[in-house]
């Protein structure tokens, strides 16, 4: 019988969300806890290096990143 393990991720920033997607892609059940009442943009936007973009593309986010 397959055992579904749950991982709790604290923080819904780019780091927490990327880790959560990667874990979910491996079959983990992920619970994300975010202390901020609302997620908002900070600064001019996130600059992603090519290796970071490659990871996000690998997680299936290319259609969301392209625009």
Read off φ and ψ for residue 52, nearest 5 degrees.
Answer: -70, -40
32 is an interface residue for ligand FAD by CB under 6 A: no
33 is an interface residue for ligand FAD by CB under 6 A: yes
Of 47 and 51, CB closest to ligand FAD? 47
Of 16 and 55, CB closest to ligand FAD? 16
Query: DSSP secondary structure string, 17-50?
Result: HHHHHHHHHTT-EEEEE--SSS----TT-----H
Where does this chain bind ligand FAD (CB under 6 A)? 10-16, 33-36, 42-47
């Amino acid at each position: 019988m397959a055992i579904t393990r749950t991982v709790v991720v604290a923080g819904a920033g780019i780091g927490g969300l990327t880790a959560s997607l990667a874990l979910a892609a491996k079959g983990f059940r992920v619970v994300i806890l975010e202390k901020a009442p609302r997620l908002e943009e900070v600064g001019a936007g996130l600059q992603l290096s090519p290796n970071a973009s490659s990871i996000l593309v690998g997680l299936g986010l290319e259609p969301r990143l392209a625009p």
